[in-house]
Amino acid sequence: MSDSPKSPAARKGSLLQTASAVAWSFFGVRRSTDNAQDVAKLNPVHVVIAGILGAAVFVTVLVLLVKWVVGSGVAT
């Protein structure tokens, strides 16, 4: 193993940086310079885990929103 800063084990991205990168990717807007910084800093395993958790939260919020709207009788 090499101790280069580009190796996944040596990447030190904070939880907030990972969450921010995943949130921006869900939104679909990201500058290429910020994307390049994320690739250099963030651990890919953490990004995948944060993406899965973010998708689960997104789906849960949508399901709860639909249940609330259908249950409240707001249909026109």
Would 34 be classed as within a structural domain? yes
Q: What is the pTM of this model?
A: 0.70
Structural domains in the chain (count) = 1
Is residue 26, in this structure, part of any structural domain at all? yes
Residue 50 lies in a domain: yes
Mean pLDDT rounded to a whole number for the chain: 83
**7 located within any domain:** no
Question: Which domain covers residue 30, as residue numbers?
Answer: 12-72
Type of residue at 70: V
Residue 1 within any structural domain of the chain: no
pLDDT in tens, 53-66: 999 999 999 999 99
Q: How far is CA 15 from CA 18, 43, 49, 50, in A?
A: 5, 10, 11, 9
Q: How many C-beta neighbours within 10 Å does residue 21 have?
A: 23
Q: Is the residue at 67 inside a domain? A: yes
Q: What is the DSSP letter of 42?
A: S
Is 5 a member of any domain? no
